[in-house]
Amino acid sequence: MSLVLSVSFARGQHAIDLSISDNTGPIINKNIYGQFAEHLGRCVYDGLFRNGKIREDVVAALKRIKIPLLRWPGGCFADDYHWKNGVGPVKLRPKAVNTMWGMVEEDNSFGTDEFLKLCEKIGCDPYLAANVGTGTPAEMESWVEYCNYDGTSSMSQLRKTNGHEQPYKVRFWGIGNESWGCGGRMTPETYVEHYKTFANYCRTYPGAPVERIASGANADDYNWTEYLMSHISSRWMQGIGVHYYTDAGGREQKDATDFGEDKYFLALKNALNMENIVRAHEAIMDRYDPAKKVALIIDEWGIVIGDENPPNYFFQQNSLRDALIAASTLNIFNNHADRIRMANLAQITNVLQSLILTSGDTMVSTPTYHVFDLYKVHQDAKLLPVSFISPDYSFGGNKLPAVNVSASKDSTGAVHISLVNIDPVNKQVINMPLSALPSKDITGQILTSPKFTDHNTFINREKVKLAVFNAFRKDRDILNIELPAKSVVVLELK
Ligand code: AHR
């Protein structure tokens, strides 16, 4: 089929020469598109679970974008969570206090079985974060047994009594969370000692292999990674969970939707710093583990604006800027797929950079949700190397690369290219040779909006939404693409 296009390209604009090789690289692990849910504010209670029931509207929305993985119950909450309080008849479950987030009552009505039911409904894998700060190895051991043991034991019997005959076979187990901070204020030396004992009791039951994920560094604390890699063997540690948040330069509600280009630039600069953080951790890991057996996991990431204190609890609106941050970050993760095999956006609903905001029984999809929708085509596809030199996006005498890209080939041979232009004013013209790529059918989708502060509300739900993108044309074996200012585009080539 030939393409009929009506694009008129700007004259005189210097075009970017971009080439994509068909030498496929590593698989982009679908778990890079993972999410995170914590007992914090309205994330779990209200966002995912309301009036004692799992929210079917939210489940349907998450299924649509193929969420592959969900991490729970924290976050800082995990190191004060005792899983046995959250199983069995709801009325008999003890009440607890959420000491991390606002000292609110935790009635434990959403516990292990409810979480695993939620994952089953979404069709995603669970990732449980075990309590190292105030828990014991025995507590973790019994949790793994409850979830994963198929034979006869007190824990497997308890699971069956609670209504789940078959083992859940939970594969991913986090051993502590931010153990350098809210999870116990440990030194790397203390943490490694704890880790070894907990990892030992995180058992592999027949037919239910586990992957043990260590609590990793706070952002650029490279010494933490160095110490873990030099003291724990890959037999006992399958991943290291680094946390890196984007500082938006503001902490009030208004900062989420009312900001100028200075804050826009700062947030994008901080977000793109993920590339440096990832490279530096990878360089350390490569020295100890050149075979890349241990995964680099970014198990908390996203832009932070909201205030953590009541009544806000990190609730924040989500703008086109945040979508550009998500898209650029996911391009970084895709391009490092040989080492990054999981990442979890913080957090899935109503907290920080959410996919979904809820109010009572209604929900709205954020611009970030649309990025995950656009990028789902990369899940488990093979990475394709991209080369180009980005023009600068300049502001106040400082510069950032205006364009970032990743590409992959899926199991059907279709190629997907995700292109981001963070420049809020200037479009970019791209020339791309098609010789190595399929090009019979080329289609595209775009996410953009007139202002980078644009966002979706319960009144105007579709202010920022996906649209068909057709600002490209085939000129013999060159594809010319006109990438609008502040936009995310995904092209499909078949
Ligand atoms: O996502 C909110 C909090 O940020 C998490 O509980 C913690 O791990 C991090 O500091």
Render pLDDT for 4-43 as a digit per residue (tens, 0 to 9): 333 334 444 689 999 999 888 999 999 999 999 999 999 9
Task: Decide: 177 in ligand 1 pocket, CB within 6 A.
Answer: yes
Residue with tokens 């205006």: 402
Q: What is the spatial distance between Cα 212 and Cα 173, in angstroms, rounded to a whole number?
A: 5
Q: What is the signed CA dihedral for 128, 133, 138, 141, rounded to 10 degrees?
A: 20
Q: Where are the alpha helices (DSSP H) in 129-257?
A: 137-148, 154-161, 188-201, 222-231
Question: How many whole angstroms from 176 Cα to the centroid of ligand 1?
Answer: 12
Q: Probe ligand 1: pick from 44, 182, 246, 347, max atoms within 8 Å of CB?
A: 182
> Catalytic: 178?
yes
Question: How many whole angstroms from 99 Cα to the centroid of ligand 1?
Answer: 13
At 381-438, the pLDDT tens digits run 999 999 999 999 999 999 999 999 999 999 999 999 999 999 999 999 999 999 999 9
Task: State how far Cα 187 lies from the chain centre.
Answer: 27
Q: Probe ligand 1: pick from 242, 300, 316, 350, max atoms within 8 Å of CB?
A: 300
DSSP three-state, residue 85? helix
| Res 168 pLDDT > 60 | yes
Q: What is the spatial distance between Cα 379 and Cα 382, in angstroms, rounded to a whole number?
A: 9
Distances (CA, A) of 118 to 43, 139, 269: 14, 23, 36
Is 297 in contact with 281 (CB distance < 8 Å)? no
Mean pLDDT in residue range 88-105: 97
Is 212 in contact with 152 (CB distance < 8 Å)? no
At 221-230, the pLDDT tens digits run 999 999 999 9
Distances (CA, A) of 222 to 123, 156, 277, 340, 346: 35, 40, 9, 16, 22
pLDDT score recorded for residue 195:
98
Give the number of residues written for the chain. 494
Longest Cα–Cα distance of the chain, Å, equals 74
| Ligand 1 atom 5, closest CA | 75
Confidence of residue 262 (pLDDT cuts 50, 70, 90): very high
| Ligand 1 atom 9, closest CA | 75
- The ligand 1 atom at the shortest distance from the C-alpha of residue 314 is 2
pLDDT score recorded for residue 253:
83
The alpha-carbon radius of gyration of the chain (Å, integer) is 23
Question: How many whole angstroms from 75 Cα to the centroid of ligand 1?
Answer: 5
Q: What is the spatial distance between Cα 73 and Cα 40, in angstroms, rounded to a whole number?
A: 9
Marked catalytic residue, from 38, 300, 308, 482: 300
What token pair was written down for 228? 């873990």
Marked catalytic residue, from 178, 211, 308, 482: 178
- The ligand 1 atom at the shortest distance from the C-alpha of residue 346 is 1
Q: What is the spatial distance between Cα 454 and Cα 457, in angstroms, rounded to a whole number?
A: 10
Q: What is the spatial distance between Cα 71 and Cα 423, in angstroms, rounded to a whole number?
A: 33
- The ligand 1 atom at the shortest distance from the C-alpha of residue 100 is 6
What token pair was written down for 456? 């979706």
Mean pLDDT in residue range 118-142: 98
- The ligand 1 atom at the shortest distance from the C-alpha of residue 75 is 6
pTM of the model: 0.96
What token pair was written down for 347? 């957090």
Question: How many whole angstroms from 406 Cα to the centroid of ligand 1?
Answer: 28
* CA neighbor of 329 nearest in space, from 346, 315, 317: 346
Give the number of other Cβ atoms within 10 Å of residue 130's Cβ.
26
- The ligand 1 atom at the shortest distance from the C-alpha of residue 177 is 8
Task: Decide: 178 in ligand 1 pocket, CB within 6 A.
Answer: yes
Question: Which long-range CB contacts under 8 A does 285-290 form with residues at least 24 apart?
Answer: 285/225, 285/229, 285/240, 285/339, 286/339, 287/229, 288/229, 288/230, 289/229, 289/234
* CA neighbor of 311 nearest in space, from 42, 107, 106, 109: 42
DSSP three-state, residue 208? strand
| Ligand 1 atom 6, closest CA | 75
| Ligand 1 atom 3, closest CA | 75
φ, ψ of residue 472 in degrees (nearest 5):
-145, 160
Q: Which amino acid makes up residue 240?
A: I
| Ligand 1 atom 8, closest CA | 75
What token pair was written down for 156? 């497997």
Task: Decide: 75 in ligand 1 pocket, CB within 6 A.
Answer: yes
Question: How many whole angstroms from 462 Cα to the centroid of ligand 1?
Answer: 29
| Ligand 1 atom 7, closest CA | 75
Task: Decide: 346 in ligand 1 pocket, CB within 6 A.
Answer: yes
At 433-480, the pLDDT tens digits run 999 999 999 999 999 999 999 999 999 999 999 999 999 999 999 999
What token pair was written down for 332? 């970084």
At 138-160, the pLDDT tens digits run 999 999 999 999 999 999 999 99
